[in-house]
Amino acid sequence: MNKDIATPARTREILNKYGFSFKKSLGQNFLIDTNILRRIVDFAELSNETGVIEIGPGIGALTEQLARQAKKVISFEIDQRLLPILADTLSLYSNIRIIHQDVLKANIQHIIDEELAEIHDIMVVANLPYYVTTPIIMKLLTDRLPIRGIVVMLQKEVADRISASPGTKDYGSLSIAIQYYTKAETVMNVPRTVFMPQPNVDSAVIRLTKREKPAVEVVDESFFFQVVRASFGQRRKTILNNLISHLPNGKQQKENIERGLADSGIDSKRRGETLTIQEFAALSNRLVDIFEKKV
Protein backbone atom coordinates (compact mmCIF):
# COMPACT_ATOMS: atom_id res chain seq x y z
CA MET A 1 0.00 0.00 0.00
CA ASN A 2 1.13 3.54 -0.71
CA LYS A 3 2.77 5.47 2.14
CA ASP A 4 0.17 7.80 3.74
CA ILE A 5 0.47 11.42 2.57
CA ALA A 6 -0.92 12.88 5.81
CA THR A 7 2.13 12.75 8.06
CA PRO A 8 4.24 15.81 8.89
CA ALA A 9 7.40 14.27 7.38
CA ARG A 10 5.76 13.09 4.13
CA THR A 11 3.87 16.39 3.69
CA ARG A 12 7.11 18.37 4.10
CA GLU A 13 8.89 16.02 1.68
CA ILE A 14 6.20 16.57 -1.00
CA LEU A 15 6.11 20.37 -0.48
CA ASN A 16 9.92 20.61 -0.65
CA LYS A 17 10.11 18.41 -3.74
CA TYR A 18 7.82 20.79 -5.63
CA GLY A 19 8.87 24.03 -3.91
CA PHE A 20 5.22 24.58 -3.01
CA SER A 21 4.27 27.68 -1.02
CA PHE A 22 0.87 28.10 0.62
CA LYS A 23 -1.50 30.71 -0.79
CA LYS A 24 -3.40 32.42 2.00
CA SER A 25 -6.00 33.67 -0.50
CA LEU A 26 -6.99 30.05 -1.25
CA GLY A 27 -7.28 29.08 2.43
CA GLN A 28 -4.73 26.29 2.06
CA ASN A 29 -4.18 24.31 5.27
CA PHE A 30 -3.19 20.68 4.76
CA LEU A 31 -4.12 17.97 7.27
CA ILE A 32 -1.16 16.05 8.67
CA ASP A 33 -2.99 13.50 10.84
CA THR A 34 -3.97 10.22 9.17
CA ASN A 35 -6.23 9.10 12.05
CA ILE A 36 -8.43 12.19 11.68
CA LEU A 37 -8.67 11.66 7.91
CA ARG A 38 -9.74 8.05 8.44
CA ARG A 39 -12.41 9.14 10.91
CA ILE A 40 -13.76 11.66 8.38
CA VAL A 41 -13.99 8.86 5.80
CA ASP A 42 -15.72 6.60 8.37
CA PHE A 43 -18.36 9.27 9.06
CA ALA A 44 -19.21 9.26 5.33
CA GLU A 45 -20.05 5.52 5.45
CA LEU A 46 -18.59 4.72 2.05
CA SER A 47 -18.61 1.39 0.23
CA ASN A 48 -17.05 0.08 -2.97
CA GLU A 49 -20.29 1.17 -4.68
CA THR A 50 -20.01 4.83 -3.55
CA GLY A 51 -18.97 7.75 -5.72
CA VAL A 52 -17.34 10.66 -3.89
CA ILE A 53 -17.12 14.33 -4.80
CA GLU A 54 -14.22 16.09 -3.08
CA ILE A 55 -13.46 19.83 -3.09
CA GLY A 56 -9.95 21.19 -2.52
CA PRO A 57 -7.80 18.02 -2.39
CA GLY A 58 -4.56 19.91 -1.65
CA ILE A 59 -1.75 17.36 -2.04
CA GLY A 60 -4.17 14.42 -1.90
CA ALA A 61 -4.14 13.44 1.80
CA LEU A 62 -7.90 12.94 2.10
CA THR A 63 -8.25 11.93 -1.56
CA GLU A 64 -6.14 8.79 -1.13
CA GLN A 65 -8.12 7.70 1.95
CA LEU A 66 -11.35 8.16 -0.02
CA ALA A 67 -10.00 6.26 -3.02
CA ARG A 68 -9.20 3.26 -0.79
CA GLN A 69 -12.85 3.00 0.30
CA ALA A 70 -14.95 4.31 -2.62
CA LYS A 71 -15.61 3.16 -6.16
CA LYS A 72 -14.61 6.51 -7.70
CA VAL A 73 -13.47 9.94 -6.46
CA ILE A 74 -14.05 13.16 -8.42
CA SER A 75 -11.99 15.96 -6.96
CA PHE A 76 -12.18 19.69 -7.79
CA GLU A 77 -8.94 21.66 -7.46
CA ILE A 78 -8.72 25.37 -8.29
CA ASP A 79 -4.93 25.80 -7.83
CA GLN A 80 -3.06 24.81 -10.99
CA ARG A 81 0.21 24.46 -9.04
CA LEU A 82 -1.24 21.41 -7.24
CA LEU A 83 -2.10 19.44 -10.39
CA PRO A 84 1.38 17.95 -11.00
CA ILE A 85 1.71 17.20 -7.26
CA LEU A 86 -1.62 15.34 -7.24
CA ALA A 87 -0.66 13.44 -10.40
CA ASP A 88 2.43 12.23 -8.51
CA THR A 89 1.02 11.57 -5.00
CA LEU A 90 -2.09 9.78 -6.30
CA SER A 91 -0.44 7.93 -9.20
CA LEU A 92 -1.16 4.49 -7.70
CA TYR A 93 -4.93 5.03 -7.73
CA SER A 94 -6.87 4.48 -10.94
CA ASN A 95 -10.26 5.53 -9.46
CA ILE A 96 -9.52 9.24 -8.99
CA ARG A 97 -10.32 12.02 -11.44
CA ILE A 98 -8.99 15.51 -10.69
CA ILE A 99 -10.95 18.36 -12.28
CA HIS A 100 -9.15 21.70 -12.50
CA GLN A 101 -12.10 24.00 -11.91
CA ASP A 102 -13.67 26.34 -9.37
CA VAL A 103 -16.46 24.21 -7.91
CA LEU A 104 -18.64 27.31 -7.47
CA LYS A 105 -18.63 27.79 -11.26
CA ALA A 106 -18.90 24.10 -12.13
CA ASN A 107 -21.95 22.34 -13.52
CA ILE A 108 -21.71 19.56 -10.94
CA GLN A 109 -24.80 17.73 -12.20
CA HIS A 110 -23.23 17.49 -15.67
CA ILE A 111 -20.02 16.10 -14.17
CA ILE A 112 -22.02 13.55 -12.13
CA ASP A 113 -23.83 12.50 -15.32
CA GLU A 114 -20.50 12.05 -17.11
CA GLU A 115 -18.29 10.61 -14.38
CA LEU A 116 -20.64 8.84 -11.96
CA ALA A 117 -23.43 7.75 -14.30
CA GLU A 118 -23.51 4.13 -13.08
CA ILE A 119 -23.21 5.02 -9.39
CA HIS A 120 -26.32 5.46 -7.26
CA ASP A 121 -24.71 6.28 -3.89
CA ILE A 122 -22.91 9.64 -4.00
CA MET A 123 -21.36 11.51 -1.07
CA VAL A 124 -19.54 14.83 -0.85
CA VAL A 125 -16.50 14.55 1.44
CA ALA A 126 -14.06 17.45 1.76
CA ASN A 127 -11.74 19.54 3.87
CA LEU A 128 -13.25 22.81 2.64
CA PRO A 129 -11.32 26.04 2.09
CA TYR A 130 -12.73 28.13 4.97
CA TYR A 131 -13.20 31.36 3.02
CA VAL A 132 -15.84 29.78 0.73
CA THR A 133 -17.41 27.15 3.00
CA THR A 134 -20.95 28.53 3.08
CA PRO A 135 -21.32 29.28 -0.68
CA ILE A 136 -20.03 25.78 -1.52
CA ILE A 137 -22.42 24.00 0.86
CA MET A 138 -25.38 26.09 -0.32
CA LYS A 139 -24.54 25.39 -3.98
CA LEU A 140 -24.38 21.64 -3.29
CA LEU A 141 -27.84 21.80 -1.69
CA THR A 142 -29.63 24.30 -3.96
CA ASP A 143 -28.40 22.55 -7.11
CA ARG A 144 -30.55 19.59 -5.96
CA LEU A 145 -27.76 17.12 -6.67
CA PRO A 146 -28.47 13.39 -6.32
CA ILE A 147 -26.25 13.03 -3.25
CA ARG A 148 -26.85 11.08 -0.03
CA GLY A 149 -25.13 13.68 2.08
CA ILE A 150 -22.12 15.82 2.85
CA VAL A 151 -19.28 15.26 5.33
CA VAL A 152 -16.99 18.27 5.51
CA MET A 153 -14.35 19.79 7.71
CA LEU A 154 -14.87 23.50 8.23
CA GLN A 155 -14.29 26.32 10.68
CA LYS A 156 -15.80 25.41 14.07
CA GLU A 157 -17.64 28.73 14.22
CA VAL A 158 -19.47 27.91 10.96
CA ALA A 159 -20.20 24.36 12.15
CA ASP A 160 -21.79 25.86 15.28
CA ARG A 161 -24.00 28.11 13.13
CA ILE A 162 -25.01 25.22 10.87
CA SER A 163 -26.14 22.95 13.72
CA ALA A 164 -27.56 25.71 16.01
CA SER A 165 -31.01 25.56 17.63
CA PRO A 166 -33.59 28.38 17.88
CA GLY A 167 -32.92 30.88 20.67
CA THR A 168 -29.11 30.46 20.61
CA LYS A 169 -26.61 33.10 19.53
CA ASP A 170 -25.37 30.95 16.62
CA TYR A 171 -28.87 30.34 15.17
CA GLY A 172 -29.47 32.27 11.96
CA SER A 173 -30.51 32.09 8.34
CA LEU A 174 -27.69 29.60 7.59
CA SER A 175 -28.97 27.21 10.32
CA ILE A 176 -32.46 27.33 8.79
CA ALA A 177 -31.28 26.89 5.18
CA ILE A 178 -29.23 23.82 6.13
CA GLN A 179 -32.08 22.40 8.24
CA TYR A 180 -34.48 22.90 5.34
CA TYR A 181 -32.47 20.56 3.08
CA THR A 182 -30.68 18.26 5.55
CA LYS A 183 -30.33 16.84 9.04
CA ALA A 184 -27.14 18.38 10.45
CA GLU A 185 -24.81 17.14 13.15
CA THR A 186 -21.32 18.06 14.30
CA VAL A 187 -19.52 14.72 14.52
CA MET A 188 -16.00 15.76 15.54
CA ASN A 189 -13.99 18.76 16.71
CA VAL A 190 -10.50 19.12 15.26
CA PRO A 191 -7.66 21.10 16.88
CA ARG A 192 -5.64 23.57 14.80
CA THR A 193 -2.42 21.66 15.61
CA VAL A 194 -3.11 18.92 13.01
CA PHE A 195 -2.76 21.28 10.04
CA MET A 196 0.17 22.65 8.07
CA PRO A 197 0.33 25.59 8.30
CA GLN A 198 -1.70 25.96 11.49
CA PRO A 199 -4.85 28.04 10.93
CA ASN A 200 -5.92 30.71 13.43
CA VAL A 201 -9.16 28.88 14.20
CA ASP A 202 -10.32 25.48 15.40
CA SER A 203 -12.17 23.20 13.05
CA ALA A 204 -15.04 20.74 13.17
CA VAL A 205 -16.44 18.00 10.96
CA ILE A 206 -20.14 18.14 10.17
CA ARG A 207 -22.34 15.51 8.58
CA LEU A 208 -25.37 16.66 6.59
CA THR A 209 -27.81 13.91 5.66
CA LYS A 210 -30.02 15.00 2.82
CA ARG A 211 -33.77 14.89 3.46
CA GLU A 212 -35.97 13.12 0.94
CA LYS A 213 -38.11 16.24 0.92
CA PRO A 214 -37.54 19.63 2.61
CA ALA A 215 -38.20 19.88 6.37
CA VAL A 216 -41.24 22.13 5.81
CA GLU A 217 -43.69 22.75 2.97
CA VAL A 218 -43.51 26.24 1.53
CA VAL A 219 -45.57 27.83 -1.21
CA ASP A 220 -42.66 29.82 -2.64
CA GLU A 221 -39.14 28.67 -1.72
CA SER A 222 -37.28 31.82 -2.75
CA PHE A 223 -39.77 34.00 -0.82
CA PHE A 224 -39.40 31.71 2.23
CA PHE A 225 -35.63 32.29 2.25
CA GLN A 226 -36.19 36.01 1.67
CA VAL A 227 -38.40 36.16 4.79
CA VAL A 228 -35.81 34.17 6.78
CA ARG A 229 -32.92 36.45 5.73
CA ALA A 230 -34.99 39.58 6.40
CA SER A 231 -35.89 38.32 9.88
CA PHE A 232 -32.18 38.22 10.81
CA GLY A 233 -31.37 41.57 9.13
CA GLN A 234 -30.39 43.15 12.45
CA ARG A 235 -30.36 40.68 15.30
CA ARG A 236 -31.41 43.14 18.01
CA LYS A 237 -34.52 44.24 16.13
CA THR A 238 -37.94 42.64 16.49
CA ILE A 239 -39.15 40.43 13.68
CA LEU A 240 -41.70 43.08 12.69
CA ASN A 241 -39.07 45.81 12.36
CA ASN A 242 -36.70 43.53 10.47
CA LEU A 243 -39.38 42.47 7.97
CA ILE A 244 -40.41 46.10 7.42
CA SER A 245 -36.77 47.13 6.90
CA HIS A 246 -35.53 44.20 4.84
CA LEU A 247 -38.43 42.86 2.75
CA PRO A 248 -39.01 44.55 -0.65
CA ASN A 249 -41.55 47.37 -0.20
CA GLY A 250 -41.60 46.45 3.50
CA LYS A 251 -42.46 49.96 4.68
CA GLN A 252 -45.47 50.17 2.35
CA GLN A 253 -46.46 46.64 3.39
CA LYS A 254 -46.33 47.30 7.15
CA GLU A 255 -50.00 46.52 7.78
CA ASN A 256 -49.86 43.35 5.70
CA ILE A 257 -46.74 42.20 7.56
CA GLU A 258 -48.46 42.83 10.90
CA ARG A 259 -51.47 40.86 9.70
CA GLY A 260 -49.29 38.00 8.44
CA LEU A 261 -47.55 37.74 11.82
CA ALA A 262 -50.88 37.81 13.69
CA ASP A 263 -52.44 35.22 11.36
CA SER A 264 -49.42 32.96 11.91
CA GLY A 265 -49.69 33.27 15.69
CA ILE A 266 -46.30 35.00 15.96
CA ASP A 267 -45.85 37.89 18.39
CA SER A 268 -44.48 40.83 16.37
CA LYS A 269 -42.13 41.74 19.25
CA ARG A 270 -40.23 38.44 19.04
CA ARG A 271 -36.78 38.33 17.49
CA GLY A 272 -36.03 36.24 14.43
CA GLU A 273 -33.68 33.90 16.28
CA THR A 274 -36.55 32.61 18.46
CA LEU A 275 -38.59 31.28 15.52
CA THR A 276 -38.50 27.62 14.51
CA ILE A 277 -38.32 26.59 10.87
CA GLN A 278 -42.00 25.58 11.11
CA GLU A 279 -42.92 29.12 12.23
CA PHE A 280 -40.92 30.64 9.38
CA ALA A 281 -42.73 28.37 6.92
CA ALA A 282 -46.16 29.34 8.29
CA LEU A 283 -45.22 33.02 8.20
CA SER A 284 -43.80 33.00 4.67
CA ASN A 285 -46.79 31.03 3.36
CA ARG A 286 -49.16 33.59 4.91
CA LEU A 287 -47.15 36.61 3.74
CA VAL A 288 -46.74 35.40 0.17
CA ASP A 289 -50.51 35.01 0.00
CA ILE A 290 -51.12 38.54 1.34
CA PHE A 291 -48.35 40.10 -0.78
CA GLU A 292 -49.57 38.53 -4.01
CA LYS A 293 -53.10 39.79 -3.42
CA LYS A 294 -52.08 43.29 -2.35
CA VAL A 295 -49.05 44.19 -4.45
Q: What are phi and psi of 13, to 5 degrees?
A: -60, -45
Domains of the chain and CATH, by start: 8-210 (3.40.50.150), 221-294 (1.10.8.100)
Q: What is the per-residue pLDDT for 295?
A: 41
The answer for residues whose C-beta is within 8 angstroms of residue 24's C-beta and 6 or more apart is none
For 40, list phi and psi in degrees, rounded to 5. -60, -45
On whether 2 is known to bind a ligand per the annotation, the reply is no
Q: Are 93 and 67 in contact (CB under 8 A)?
A: yes
Q: Known binder of ligand: residue 31?
A: yes
Q: What is the pLDDT along the chain (295 residues), one digit of tens a residue?
A: 567 899 999 999 999 999 988 776 666 788 999 999 999 999 999 999 999 999 999 999 999 999 999 999 999 999 999 999 999 999 999 999 999 999 999 999 999 999 999 999 999 999 988 888 999 999 999 999 999 999 999 999 999 999 999 999 999 999 999 999 999 999 999 999 999 888 888 999 999 999 999 999 999 999 999 999 999 999 889 999 999 999 988 888 899 999 999 999 999 999 999 999 999 999 999 999 887 765 4
Cα separation, 243 vs 251, in Å, equals 9
Integer Cα distance of 157 and 204 in angstroms: 8
- Which are the contacts of 22, defined by CB distance < 8 A and separation ≥ 6? 28, 29, 197
Known binder of ligand: residue 56?
yes
For 174-189, letters b (16+ CB in 10 Å) and e give bbbbbbbbbebeeebe
Q: What is the pLDDT of residue 249?
A: 85
In contact, 10 and 31? CB cutoff 8 Å: no
CA–CA separation, 163 and 286 (whole Å) = 27
Is 174 annotated in a binding site? The answer is no
